[in-house]
Amino acid sequence: MLHQTIPFSDVSDQRVPRDAAWHAEVRRQIVGGLADREAHSMPASVVGATLCLIIGSIIGLSPVLLLALSLRIVSIGLTRWACVHLRRALAAGQPFEKRFAVAGTALALSGLSWGFLTWPILDSVLVDPAGLAMLTLVITGVCLICSMVGLSPPVLVGFASCFGISVLVGSFVMTGGSQPLLAAAVLLPLIGAVPFGIGQRRQAIQAAEDAVDNLHLSDEIASALHHAEFLSRHDALTGLRNRRALFEEFGEGPTQENSHAILALDLDYFKAINDRYGHKAGDDVLIAVADVLRAALRTTASPLSGAYRLGGEEFLLVIHSADRSVGVALAEHLRVAIANLKPIAADPALRVTASLGVVEWSGETSLTAALGAVDRMLYAAKASGRDCVHCDRSDAIAA
């Protein structure tokens, strides 16, 4: 059978559904990006305000300029306060839309404070070098903020509108509209800054979508690795632990102060069940027997005991801190419980039986030696007619 290679992008589209939760996560990524940009812009805002103050002192700190500088400082503080609360909500995984609305409003209204900074310049008939420096600083700051808030078109439009309205109002208030060209020159950069900010949003959306896709795929990969790790230590059919888990958990053996009881269990004539009823019925038998073993483990005193499927129809139990008599009693309980099973609905009269071997494992012998000893007990039970428990009464287990 030929295997078709599927492009990675197609796999991503199939594995990560574009549902409401996905879109909400993309939205959270975009808003988080805007909040992070504001945090990173704080040093630039402080430097900008300081430069405005220096240039203003050169121009002359008129009441209008002092008011504009005060509004700029208040705007920086208000925006920072709103964005800090927004970032906290995002980091905590809480609903954030209301806080984003507050932060967005603060960012948009900051356009007014930038516009106010141009009012003293608009009042001049000729723009001196200090005034030109102030305009350059304002235009640069406005363009940078348009790039920053472009992730949210409503915030971008609100900021540009507030700045434009502030400049136009200042042009009429300060000069009676006698310097329209100067006001137009101040507003002209918005023609490029606003589309550039919108372009930044398109890139941010793509980056956010990729980030969410990668996050989902990382979760799925982690889940697959966890599942693979589980299967490496468990039997896929019954869910019992396997031989690898047995040696990892009991490879060092019991201590000198205690011992473990080991029970080996093998289903009698299991091949005949497979041949007569099919492998699906055989699997049902194995699953039913595994359930019996799990139920038996819950009756043991130690949570460190374990049930294992070693392969085929062969199972093993290790009863932690138990002697031979405990193992024999549990083995007899298992033998009766398995004989009472009716795992195949098509033939309720079918009687499943098991042969069991029991040994007491002390710290003087290895796990390999103990498994060899319990196998001999199991073979002895088979040789004794099956459907029975066999235990060596001697204390010796060959090393």
CATH number at residue 301: 3.30.70.270
Contact assessment for residue 337 and residue 370, using Cβ atoms and an 8 Å cutoff: no
**Per-residue pLDDT band at 7 (split at 50, 70, 90):** very low
Residues 127 and 270 in one domain: no
Look at residue 13 and tell me if it is in a domain: no
Range of the domain at 365: 243-391
Look at residue 254 and tell me if it is in a domain: yes
Residues 104 and 184 in one domain: yes
Closest CA to 381 of 261, 297, 264: 264
Closest CA to 31 of 129, 107, 121: 107
Residues 253 and 192 in one domain: no
Residues 106 and 170 in one domain: yes
- The answer to whether residue 145 scores a pLDDT higher than 60 is yes
Residues 127 and 273 in one domain: no
Write out the DSSP string of 230-259: HHHHB-TTT--B-HHHHHHHHTT---TT-E
Residues 272 and 317 in one domain: yes
If you average pLDDT over residues 304-316, what whole number do you get? 92
CA dihedral 193, 195, 200, 202 (to 10 degrees): 170
Residues 185 and 250 in one domain: no
pLDDT top residue among 19 and 272: 272
State pLDDT tens for residues 251-303. 777 766 678 999 999 999 999 998 888 889 899 999 999 999 999 988 876 77
Look at residues 186, 220, 254 and tell me which one is the last residue of a structural domain: 220
**Of the segments 22-26, 38-42, 334-338, 359-363, which one has the largest average pLDDT value?**
334-338
Look at residue 122 and tell me if it is in a domain: yes
**Of the segments 77-86, 142-151, 223-232, 361-370, which one has the largest average pLDDT value?**
77-86
Residues 156 and 281 in one domain: no
**Per-residue pLDDT band at 366 (split at 50, 70, 90):** confident
Distance CA 374, CA 362 (A): 13
**Per-residue pLDDT band at 10 (split at 50, 70, 90):** very low
pLDDT top residue among 4 and 339: 339
- The answer to whether residue 395 scores a pLDDT higher than 50 is no
Percentage of the chain beyond pLDDT 90 is 33
Residues 186 and 249 in one domain: no
**Two tokens, residue 276:** 């007569």
pLDDT top residue among 164 and 302: 164
